[in-house]
Amino acid sequence: MAEEIAEKAGRDDDAFVLRKDRVREILLAINRGDSAGLGRMLDQLHPADVADLMEQVGDKTRHLLLRFWGRDIDGEILSELDEGVRAEVIEMLPDEVLSEAVLDLESDDIVDLIEDLGDEQKDILLDALSASERVAVEQALSYPEGSAGRLMQREVVRTPEHWTVGEAIDFVREDAEDLPEQFYHVILVDPKMHPTGYVTLGKLMSMPRAKPLREVSEHSFRSVPVDLDEAEVAYIFNQYHLISLPVVDSEERLVGVITIDDAMAVLDDEHEEDILLLAGVNEESSLSDNAIETTKLRLPWLGVNLLTAILASMVISLFEDVIGQVVALAVLMPIVASMGGNAGTQSLTVAVRAIATKDLTGSNVWRVVSREMVVGVLNGIVFAAVMGLVALFWFGSSQIGLVIAAAMIVNLAVAALAGILVPVTMEKLGVDPALASGTFVTTVTDVVGFFAFLGLASMVLM
Amino acid sequence: MAEEIAEKAGRDDDAFVLRKDRVREILLAINRGDSAGLGRMLDQLHPADVADLMEQVGDKTRHLLLRFWGRDIDGEILSELDEGVRAEVIEMLPDEVLSEAVLDLESDDIVDLIEDLGDEQKDILLDALSASERVAVEQALSYPEGSAGRLMQREVVRTPEHWTVGEAIDFVREDAEDLPEQFYHVILVDPKMHPTGYVTLGKLMSMPRAKPLREVSEHSFRSVPVDLDEAEVAYIFNQYHLISLPVVDSEERLVGVITIDDAMAVLDDEHEEDILLLAGVNEESSLSDNAIETTKLRLPWLGVNLLTAILASMVISLFEDVIGQVVALAVLMPIVASMGGNAGTQSLTVAVRAIATKDLTGSNVWRVVSREMVVGVLNGIVFAAVMGLVALFWFGSSQIGLVIAAAMIVNLAVAALAGILVPVTMEKLGVDPALASGTFVTTVTDVVGFFAFLGLASMVLM
């Protein structure tokens, strides 16, 4: 039976997603309390998929799963879990299971696991480590959260820069036991331990033994300081197509190396943060949060939005008289605000993305601002014409048509400007431009939209 | 002088971004028409940075730059450029420069470069290639755009699966001339050329020569079909922490390999697409487009928004009578719509992101939908209470307070539901859930918001 499943799993090449039928079988085993069957099925899955499964099921199912199978959980599954679920799972595991699970992890994964835990759990995990590993982890934890130092692995394959290819090969073969799980370069260091270059394993294997390492060092070589922000690290990997990146301390000495798979995960996290922040969702929210947690995370932003919406309403209330006389204004006014909000969001999103990819810099910011301004005015003219005609035919009043046309041009121009200036200013102030920019921009477009439309209307119509 | 610059550049370790002063010097050289100085400075930069610079400057400066320096442009710069600017640059380069530039690229980069060109330019580039390279490129172009086949490099290091570590090492050393620029694994194949495993170069270097390759093959080994969507490929790399991924044809034969740096670039592009589509910005838009191009790309979406805004206005116009009598309704009604729009966008963005990361699947969709529903009602109750009181004190009418409170609960619940059901439905229909979902959701929240608020008001107040 076990063999049959193994064979099936082996052939099942395209099952990169958790397949529905497999999930159903697993849920069935959980409900039956079939520990053995559950274990067999979960062992077939990649740790990342087991983690996904644990995130996707509800609280109760997750608790049952841990009850029947928790003792077999391995460290990789823990390190793949979302922070929220991970904290919950760790809470439920007996200390000895936890200590056991952590033993097969590399130091950078242990750091990632440990950094979000409470002090008590942290101590349990640290106590489970060997003395040298513990020093490594505590050293890493001394670097700021979200820095290169937290991301790097300390296990580095390095050689003196004056060695030859042959010497490096022999060194690697002799040192085989202590090699890290993952390494793609041999890093060259000078006598002061400053990294001066790196050679890919491919080059090492294919070059003549007598060749000096220096001559086959990659042009792409660069290093980063240990306190560099991880978002910058991800950017550097993507921009320069790196596979690994040496990390140096304040004295430029080699202290570790970051590999691209970790950088890719950071890139993905940064994107998640941007897209969620732009929508006013707390970046720590997760699909596995329950309804109460989710409500708590979403409330603050809706609260801010309520304040800005009230502000816009106060603008409207300035013009109650004219609205009372010409109710058509109440009908049309949301159109001006809505178009401004959308145009502003377009500019804003382009700007936030361009700031993240460093495409929007001091060198071109004024060119982009003036472009957005021209785009705003052009869009304004187009939709002023369309909406002016619509209003004319709808309400049979050329005055209302002219008022909405003029307000549209004003609001779309302002929207374009706000859409780019708000995130650029946030960035200058050191605030994440994805955060709060959206609310700022739509507040501006609501207020300006209502004020321009109703203000013009009260001048023209009264 | 050249040496001085080189020395400065060498020391300038943290200059990962184009520094302002350097850009200024380059712009100065362009304006002076100083070809030699320009060449010296540009040669110091990484091709990716030269490409960024070319995107950041305006049209005119870019043309001058190409005039003074275009003959020295290399293929890597072309392959780093955004599609829009790249087409423009290729248009301006003499055929022989173009042919020359392409010669130093790997086949996957040539494919990436060539796939967006017109037929005439495509032919010029294809003619510049060697016969074998041309076959490789044409073969890759026969796979669908955005597929694994376009992304992979055809240069693969493979060995029979029954070989030992020693045999593989000797093979690599003998074959040194033909090795691809980048490779991190030796791929094992059976006699029918089906890939059956892979061994990292690190393992190869550290294991005893007599060890069978099969015994040191990585557990992470998997392969993908040549027509798999590149977004799936990026997902697989990130999910399973892969470094390279073999690609097979419909008969499961090895045809190429994808490396993680290309997958990381795809991941980044997919994110860009999601974030832009969510904001109603055409995914092909770029910061280097001029104002007219940008306007054209943004207009369609604003047009759709105008239609939906008019629809919402038509809902309002159904209630002109009650608004004419109680102008306070006109003042308050945008608040209900705005809160619904924001809550809907929160749910929507979480759902779009979760679909992209495969966290939202058939297994948990109903759990997430019911969670969102509860969150919507809870948020609705909170803001109903707040806004009810605000309206009561503002307009001194408990009836208006009750009406807005009730409308708020209805609209936030509907917003939460629409925010999740719209993208899930889009996904089922095979449409990118990031596209158009936003407009759908805010149309729903506007229409429901105005209808619930004004409808209740006309029942209660008239």
Confidence of residue A157 (pLDDT cuts 50, 70, 90): very high
CATH of domain B158-278: 3.10.580.10
- Mutation site for A-interface testing, chosen from B171, B295, B365, B372 by largest number of A Cβ within 10 Å: B295
Question: Which stretches of B279-290 are DSSP H helices?
Answer: none
> Using CB atoms, which residue from A237, A343, A359 is nearest to B52?
A359
Which of A222, A239, A332 lies at the smallest CB-CB distance from B313?
Answer: A332
Q: How far is A363 from chain B (nearest CA, A)?
A: 7
CB contact (8 A) between residue B312 and residue A371? no
| Residues of chain B contacting A305 with CB distance shorter than 8 Å | 338-339, 342
pLDDT score of B435: 83
Q: Which residues of A touch B375 (CB under 8 A)?
A: 291, 294-295, 298
Matching CATH topology for A2-146 and A291-461? Answer: no
**Chain B residues touching A222 at Cβ < 8 A:** 13, 16
Cα–Cα distance, B423 to B434 (Å, whole number): 7
- Say if the Cβ atoms of B267 and A265 lie within 8 Å: no
Which single residue is written with the structure tokens 């409308």? B407
Residue A68 three-state SS: helix
Q: What is the least distance, in Å, from the CA of A276 to any CA of chain B?
A: 7
B337/A339 CB distance under 8 A: no
Question: Torsion-angle region of residue B306: left (phi > 0), alpha (psi -120 to 50) or beta?
Answer: alpha
Question: Could you tell me the pLDDT band of residue A435, with boundaries at 50, 70 and 90?
Answer: confident
Q: Which of A112, A371, A420 is the mutation pick for testing B, counting most B CBs within 10 A?
A: A371
Chain A CB contacts of B317 below 8 Å: 331
Identify the pLDDT of residue B263.
95
For residue A442 the two structure tokens come to 């739509």
CB contact under 8 A, A280 and B378: no
The second-level CATH assignment, the architecture, of B2-147 is: Alpha Horseshoe (1.25)
> What distance in Å separates the CA atoms of residue B375 and residue B384, rounded to the nearest whole number?
14
CA distances from B75 to A86, A459, B104, B146, B198 (A): 46, 61, 7, 21, 31
Query: Comparing C-alpha atoms, which of B3, B26, B13, B51 is closest to residue B286?
Result: B51
pLDDT of residue B114: 85
CA proximity to B288, closest of B61, B112, B102? B61
pLDDT, tens digit (0-9, with 9 covering 90-100), for A321-366: 999 999 999 999 999 999 999 999 999 999 999 998 888 887 788 8
What CATH class does A291-461 carry?
mainly alpha
Q: What is the pLDDT along chain B (462 residues), one digit of tens a residue?
A: 333 333 333 334 344 556 778 888 888 898 888 888 888 888 888 889 899 888 888 888 888 888 888 777 888 898 888 888 888 888 888 888 888 888 878 778 888 888 878 788 788 888 888 888 888 888 889 999 899 999 998 889 999 999 999 999 999 988 877 888 788 999 999 999 999 999 999 999 889 999 999 999 988 889 999 999 999 999 999 999 999 999 999 999 999 999 999 999 999 999 999 999 988 888 777 877 888 889 999 999 999 999 999 999 999 999 999 999 999 999 999 999 999 999 999 999 999 999 988 888 877 888 889 999 999 999 999 999 999 999 999 999 999 999 999 999 999 999 999 999 999 999 999 888 888 788 889 999 999 999 999 999 999 988
pLDDT of B16:
52
A108, A288, A295, A445: best mutation site toward chain B, by most B Cβ within 10 Å? A295
The answer to whether the complex's ipTM is over 0.90 is no
The larger pLDDT score, comparing residue A61 to residue A380, is at A380
Query: CB-based contacts of B115: which residues, under 8 Å, 6+ apart?
Result: B141, B145, B150
Question: Smallest Cβ distance to B238: which of A264, A359, A363?
Answer: A264
Neighbours of A177 (CB within 10 A): 6
On chain B, the residues whose CB falls within 8 A of the CB of A172 are 205-206
pLDDT, tens digit, for every residue of A4-31? 333 333 334 344 556 778 888 888 898 8
Residues in a beta bridge with B244: B259
- The H or E element that residue A424 is part of is helix A398-428
DSSP A312-324: HHHHHHTTHHHHH
* Mean pLDDT over each residue of chain A, to the nearest integer: 88
8 Å CB contact of B169 and A205 = yes
Report the distance separating Cα B259 and Cα B182, nearest Å.
8
3-class SS of residue A344? helix
Residue-wise over B363-397: b if at least 16 C-beta within 10 A, else e? bbbebbbebbbbbbbbbbbbbbeebbebbbebbeb
Set of chain A residues whose Cβ sits within 8 Å of the Cβ of B257:
none
Element (DSSP H or E) covering residue B198: strand B195-200
Alpha carbon distance B331, A93 (integer Å): 55
Cβ-defined contact of A338 to B242 (cutoff 8 Å): no
Segments making up each domain of chain B, as ranges? 2-147, 158-278, 291-461
State the nearest Cα–Cα gap between B324 and chain A, in angstroms: 5
Topology (CATH level 3) of domain A2-146: MgtE N-terminal fold (1.25.60)
Alpha-carbon gap: B237 to the closest alpha carbon of chain A (Å): 8
Q: Sheet holding B254-259: strands in order across? A: B224-225, B244-248, B254-259
Kindly tell me if the per-residue pLDDT of A289 is higher than 90.
no
User: Do the Cβ atoms of A349 and B275 come within 8 Å?
Assistant: yes
To test the contact with chain B by mutation, choose from A287, A333, A357, A394 the residue with the greatest count of B C-beta atoms within 10 A, namely A287
Q: Residues 6 or more apart from B2 whose CB is under 8 A from it?
A: B40
Q: Considering CB atoms only, which of B263, B290, B346 is closest to A280?
A: B346
Interface test with A, best of B375, B377, B379 (most A CBs within 10 A): B375
Q: How far apart are CA B330 and CA B335, in angstroms?
A: 10
Buried b (16+ CB within 10 A) or exposed e, A338-358: bbbbbbbbbbbbbbbbbbbeb
State how far the Cα of A78 lies from the Cα of A86, in Å rounded to an integer: 6
List pLDDT tens digits, range A255-266: 999 999 999 999
C-beta pairs of A118-124 under 8 Å, 24+ apart in sequence: A121/A90, A121/A91, A124/A95, A124/A98, A124/A99
Residues of A within 8 A of B294 (CB-CB) are: 371-372, 375
